[in-house]
Amino acid sequence: MRKKIIAGNWKMFKDLRETEDLVRGLTSRLTFDLKGNQVIICPPFTSLALASKLIEGKPVELGAQNMHPEDEGAFTGEVSPNMLKSVGCSYVILGHSERRQYFGETNESINKKAKKAIASGLTPIVCVGELLEEREKGITEQVVGTQVRGCLKDVPEAEVERLILAYEPVWAIGTGKTATPQQAQAVHQFIRKTLGQLYNWTVAEKVVIQYGGSVKPENAAELLKQPDIDGALVGGACLKPDSFVAIIQSCL
Ligand code: PGA
């Protein structure tokens, strides 16, 4: 059985003081047995060092929201994989739809980052998902299939299990509109089938595929019950300890 992984994408929220409040609020509530499931928080770069210290000894792991695919260099404003590791990150979100939309990320650039993240010992959380107009045109599978193939290009079979995929329909992100559990399951199943074609079924069965897009305590349990939904990438609802913990509890 695949474990469930619940990750919180803080986006561009929380300064240092607020980070301390949120992490302490979260860890003080995580007193129950996670039963092998995992919790990840992905604060902004400026909060990673503090968050890393605050989660020491707690059942919470750390991720970043982006990285540059080089080890170092003249890339003003960017952060390298080793820098993320040195501050305590084990994960990095790559290709979030906001990065695709506002920062020009493409399947090619995300692929480069994903390969570098894996080579550097980070687990990438690679995001894919269709726009509303693409869903309405009936081309969701075509779009998501192209994204999965593009983002995983030349990622060898032995390494793909180390990567997490997040299906985030763009029309459901931050809109309060969630995909129904059936809509989400259908795309997750399609993604797993695509992995089966790209690699083989044994590998496809092992890859964790998270759902993201307006996940909240009220809809998390139904989504997480679906056979191919292996966790959640949570935006808005991870910014309050009570709602994030309620989502974590709904996968137990
Ligand atoms: P949301 O964001 O939960 O606020 O819709 C999800 C995401 O962008 O990862």
Angle at CA of residue 190, ends 115 and 167, nearest 5° = 55
The alpha-helical segments, DSSP class H, found in the chain are 16-29, 45-54, 81-86, 97-103, 107-119, 132-136, 140-151, 157-160, 181-198, 201-206, 217-224, 241-249
Q: State residue 209's pLDDT score.
A: 98
pLDDT at position 174: 87
Q: Which residue's CA lies nearest to atom 7 of ligand 1? A: 235
Q: Which atom of ligand 1 is nearest to the CA of 213?
A: 5
Cβ burial of 156 (10 Å; 0-12, 13-18, 19+) is exposed
The number of the ligand 1 atom at minimal distance from the alpha carbon of 174 is 5
Alpha-carbon distance 38 to 120, whole Å?
Answer: 21
Tens of pLDDT along the chain (252 residues) come to: 799 999 999 999 999 999 999 999 999 999 999 999 999 999 999 999 999 999 999 999 999 999 999 999 999 999 999 999 999 999 999 999 999 999 999 999 999 999 999 999 999 999 999 999 999 999 999 999 999 999 999 999 999 999 999 999 999 998 888 899 999 999 999 999 999 999 999 999 999 999 999 999 999 999 999 999 999 999 999 999 999 999 999 988
Q: Check if 63 has its Cβ closer than 6 Å to any atom of ligand 1.
A: no
Residue whose CA is at the smallest distance from ligand 1 atom 6:
235
Output the pLDDT for position 49: 98
Site to substitute for ligand 1 among 94, 132, 168, 170, most atoms within 8 A of C-beta: 168
pLDDT reported for residue 58: 98
Specify the CATH architecture of the domain 5-249.
Alpha-Beta Barrel (3.20)
Element (H, E) at 128: strand 123-128
- Distance between CA 226 and CA 238 in Å, rounded? 21
Query: Annotated catalytic sites, by residue?
Result: 96, 168
Taking the model in full, what pTM does it have?
A: 0.97
